[in-house]
Amino acid sequence: MQENVIPAGVRAIFFDAVGTLLHPEPTASAAYATIGRRFGSKLDEAAIARRFSVAFHRQEEKDRAAGWRTSEVREVQRWRQIVGEVLHDTADPEACFQALFTHFARGDSWRIDPDAGQVLAGLSARSYTLGVASNYDHRLRKIVAALPEFAHFAHLAISAELGWRKPSPEFFSAVTAQAGLDAEQILLVGDDLKNDYQGASAAGLHAVLLDPECRFPALNRIRGLGNLLS
């Protein structure tokens, strides 16, 4: 971790959601396996994890080719295609998709980073404006509303509502407009090198990479969210 994780002049801190603040509980592969079995799937978690990685990256490439444009319709479409590709052996693909889509809309389907509550309260007490900047859809509003630790958020920048996915500059322009601040007054904290760190930096925002395995020592990074209060 480098010094000055939160640069002087920053007035708002936005957090990526999945992988930074939130983690699926049970894991995504476990949830897919459990729900998939209801609809006849025979795949185990290891096979699901492999298939999910391929399907997810296929959809990422589609969005990249489309200039990172998105919408609520596109987000539903991309997850329907991911579920269908991963759980290819179900008897009722649409019912299986709907069950998984609903599952991941519930607050109790997610585990909050153990430091998140204390960190968000501490940053709010230091007068930082807080927000979420996520590649997600309307379900994220339900998740945030169900989790009292997230009561400190003043802004929710959600790709499906903004019309652009990270790492597009348009997404980050929408974040700055929502915050009512200049780009250099905003810090983005996230776990994804391309979408979060590089995307925010290219748009003129400050960025911190959540890097618990110390893979990128040259960057402005933290090993855990608690380091933001150091």
What secondary structure, in 3-state letters, does the chain show? CCCCCCCCCCCEEEECCECCCEEECCCHHHHHHHHHHHCCCCCCHHHHHHHHHHHHHHHHHHHHHCCCECCHHHHHHHHHHHHHHHCCCCCCHHHHHHHHHHHCCCHHHEEECCCHHHHHHHHHHCCCEEEEEECCCCHHHHHHHHCHHHCCEEEEEEHHHHCECCCCHHHHHHHHHHHCCCHHHEEEEECCHHHHHHHHHHCCCEEEEECCCCCCCCCCEECCHHHHHC
Domain boundary among 108, 138, 158: 108
Any idea what the CATH number is for the domain that residue 39 is in?
1.10.150.720
Tell me the pTM. 0.95
> Looking at the domain assignment, is residue 1 inside a domain?
no
Shared domain for 48 and 158, answered yes or no, is no
So what's the pLDDT on residue 230?
84
Amino acid 2: pLDDT: 47
Q: Domain span at residue 165?
A: 12-21+113-229
Structural domain total, the chain? 2
Q: Which of 60, 16, 53, 19 is nearest to 187 (CA)?
A: 16
Which pLDDT belongs to residue 3? Answer: 52
168, 199 Cβ separation under 8 angstroms: yes
Residues 17, 33, single domain; the answer is: no
Q: Give a yes or no: residue 6 inside a domain.
A: no
**Same domain as 195, residue 92:** no
pLDDT per residue, tens digit, the chain (230 aa), is 445 689 999 999 999 999 999 999 999 999 999 999 999 999 999 999 999 999 999 999 999 999 999 999 999 999 999 999 999 999 999 999 999 999 999 999 999 999 999 999 999 999 999 999 999 999 999 999 999 999 999 999 999 999 999 999 999 999 999 999 999 999 999 999 999 999 999 999 999 999 999 999 999 999 999 999 98
